[in-house]
Amino acid sequence: MRRHETASGSDDEALLRRRVRPADWRQPEPKALYDLAIVGAGPAGLEAAEWAARRGFSVALVERENLGGNSLNAGSVPSKALIRTAQVQDGMREADAFGAPLPEEPSLDFAVAMARMRRIRARVAVYHSAHELAALGIDLFFGAARFAGAHALAVGDARLSFRKALVATGARPHIPDIPGLEQAGYRTSDTVFDMPALPKRLAVMGGGPLGCELGQAFCRLGAHVTIVQNDPKFLPREERDAAEILSWAMARDGMDIRLNTVVTGVRREGDTRVLETLNNAVRGEIAVDEILVCTGRVPNVEGLDLAAAGVAFAPGRGIVVDDFLCSTNPDIHAAGDVCLPLKFTNAAEASARMAARNALQQAGLRHDGAAIPWCTFCDPEIAHIGLQVWEARRRSIPIKSYTVMLSDVDRAITDGQETGFVKIHVAEGSDRILGATIVASRASELINEMAVVMSTGIGMAALAEVVHTYPAQSRALMLAAQAYRRDVDGAVRPPPPSA
């Protein structure tokens, strides 16, 4: 089944199961020696397995749960499907401004919204299904893997010997140790998409990208959402002006954001869960129907017996790797969430390709997290690549920033999407681009142009000359580069004409 085909109704979950973990799957007969054995079949493991298999290497891929990992089953794919539903719901509320008033307030059928999410998840699973992987010549094993030495894995009764191995077991939600939380009950990104009904009141513990994305989505679907974050700064990893715009947008949607607030305990009163909070020595309570815990992720290494393979692990950080993604065992690499601070699907895929090339081709590629774009998929979206201002200051790197507000971009005006900006950071005294931050409705799309620009070494002077379509929001990038040119041209004035 290809992407344009669909399943219907309750068949979607069954279709997903057939693709990500077939009930009738028969374990292959292990080869005497694999070129590459991979533990974990999330985005990183799948990327490395397919890359290696297509180049003629023998590959064993081991997955403990479902193919696709968190990204497909409980992360990027289902969350973006739900976010899209929330965007449509929110857009209907603005129909009056476009001359298309609705006869009544739009309502939501939560069951239909969740069914759409499940249908999309099953469709996206098609290209990484168990049978597709087997067709590539990959030996796929379902079960828990553990190292049985420096060059062997044990999966049930099977022993997989390898020349090289890659650990790509991902990460799982971190659950804070809060009195009463376990007894009261909570959801994480792994279980939130199983909710049978939309909660009237939802508390999101943690104000990171995932908490903000899901919080805003559920708010727009009709829940009263409160984000509780112990950090005094909203989205502390983002640039302050970007975080402030999103904070304003979420407050406009009706969300309650409580910063510098610690949850000291949770109790249950009937169907209600009560969060006991502390903010600057002031105690408070938040009564909700559901709690969503989004307080970070921790690497999955339990049961791997890394010590048996000579692989070092740092608690809270993950498998210890060098710049080439090699562990303390020279024949075992790691990729993705199990070893990287940036826990994004595209970062996992990129690191997996690099690790596979380094392991099998001795490519000598250094991992550079600054070259990977990432995005917080709220409305507006916040996307970033390279250095941020606070990082440059911390490292004493002199930079100059060029900013274009979307309210000065014609296409943003026509679309009614004027909230946001494009900001490009340049090494002072040159046109070398060090980073960019974009706040826009489609910042995740715009940032990819900056990824191409930075990866190919294109500077601001050249970017200023690239012709963009009109009208397009991406022209903001060109306008920022042209602002740089005006700045430079004004600083370097031609000598006055001779008498």
Instruction: Please name the residues in contact with 293: beta carbons below 8 A apart, sequence gap of 6 or more.
Output: 173, 175, 176, 181, 186, 187, 188, 205, 206
HSE-up of residue 391 (Cα within 13 Å, Cβ side): 15
Tell me how far apart the alpha carbons of residues 228 and 373 are, in angstroms, rounded to a whole number. Answer: 27
User: Binding site for FAD, residues?
Assistant: 80, 337
Identify which of 17, 28, 8 has the alpha carbon closest to the alpha carbon of residue 125: 17
Name the binding residues for NAD(+). Answer: 206-213, 296
Query: Cα 149 to the chain's mean position, in Å?
Result: 33
Cβ pair 44, 335 in contact under 8 A: yes
- Output the CA torsion sign for 208, 306, 60, 49: positive
How many helices (H) and strands (E) the chain has is answered by 15, 23
Spatial distance between the Cα atoms of 304 and 292, rounded to a whole number of angstroms: 29
Angle, helices 443-455/475-491, rounded to nearest 10 degrees: 50
Is omega for the bond preceding 380 within 30 degrees of 0, making it cis?
yes
Among candidates 458, 492, 495, which has minimal Cα distance to 478? 458
Sheet holding 282-288, edge to edge: 262-269, 272-279, 282-288
Q: Which of 127, 56, 117, 57 is nearest to 86 (CA)?
A: 117
Query: What is the Cα 385 distance to its own chain's centre?
Result: 13
The distance in angstroms from the start CA to the end CA of the chain is: 79
DSSP string of 261-290, one letter each residue: -EEEEEEEETTEEEEEEEETTEEEEEEESE
Q: Is 17 exposed, middle or buried (0-12, 13-18, 19+ CB in 10 A)?
A: middle
**Binding site: residue ranges?**
80, 206-213, 296, 337
Residue that the structure tokens 């129907």 belong to: 289
- Match 């430079």 to its residue by tokens: 488
CA–CA separation, 246 and 207 (whole Å): 12
Four-CA torsion 84, 91, 403, 478, nearest 10 degrees: 80
